[in-house]
Amino acid sequence: MTIHKEGRTLLFVLLLLLFAVNAAMAYFFPEHRLLQNVIIVGSIVLYLLILQFFRNPVFSIVKNDNHVLAPADGKVVVIEETEETEYLKSRRKQVSIFMSPINVHVNRMPVAGTVSYFKYHPGKYLVAWHPKSSTENERTTVVAKMKNGTEVLFRQIAGALARRIKWYVKEGQPLEQGDEFGFIKFGSRVDIFLPLNAKITVKPGDVTLGGRTVIAEL
């Protein structure tokens, strides 16, 4: 387990701030021992909560060109056939994974391929399970073109709490299955659009692990 690069500066600044608050309490209010202890405990709990947001587990990726891996830790909230209107402009099977604040927030490539399309969309911050969040919220769209020509589209979608989407890809960039393609601070949602002949191997309510859970077979 490591700490993701997106959280290192924030965690360092927070540590200094909490240390300063507790030092100030001890200096200016030395007689208030109970209050000092409450603030110390509160500081530790707060720091541990923020720390777990940025954990980055280390594990081996089992690569398989016929498998689609979950792009994020979370829970499957949508499986449906829908029209993808931004890039693919065709009917697709959509799988959506909701990331809660306690999930790992690293986003990983579900398939190996070259990024054939990327776009960042500014937008609203509706709750991630809102029906319009996929089209109206701040989001990124990434398309990976596999060796066999199949294109898989996936989106990072910000929510009411998660307002910082980070991405590490650009058009023309080749990536391996399981590679990091982005990070959503404090959770949200990832949608993935698959060919209609894909066999979905998860169901609504299933818990996924990014880069490990097989969500479909191609």
**Active site amino acids:** 188
Cα separations in angstroms, 37 against 11, 27, 42, 46, 47:
22, 14, 8, 14, 15
Beta bridge mates, 76:
97
Contact 97, 78 (CB under 8 A): no
**Inter-CA distances, 144 with 94, 111, 173, 176, Å:** 15, 7, 9, 10
Length, in residues, of the chain: 218
Q: Are 104 and 56 in contact (CB under 8 A)?
A: yes
Q: What is the DSSP string of 144-155?
A: EE-TTS-EEEEE
Measured distance CA(195)–CA(211) in Å, rounded: 20
Diameter of the chain measured on Cα atoms: 71
